[in-house]
Amino acid sequence: MNKKEKEPYLVGINVLEKSTDEETATVDRLLAENIVAAARIQTGYIKEVRRHGRKESGKPRVLKIRLEDTWLCLY
């Protein structure tokens, strides 16, 4: 039995969240596009942007950016 291979993500740590989930999602998407563009990857390759973990006051969750092509995370 083969262990399922985990998909690689670009990860942002200590990224502050906004007060509402809707604001956070909008800002996270813009931030993800800036991070991906800084890595010289086209923003069209972004497949998913989400927060990982439980939402707690005073502690920002990890920002996970999943790309269409696995190899883009590994260069």
User: Domain coordinates of the chain in residue numbers?
Assistant: 9-73
Q: How many CB atoms are located within 10 Å of the residue 12 CB?
A: 18
Query: pTM of the entire structure?
Result: 0.76
pLDDT at site 32: 93
Cα–Cα distance measured from residue 28 to residue 49, given in angstroms and rounded to the nearest whole number: 7
- Res. 4 pLDDT band, cuts 50 70 90: low
- Predicted confidence (pLDDT) per residue in 10-59, tens digit: 888 888 888 888 888 899 999 999 999 998 888 888 999 999 888 877 78
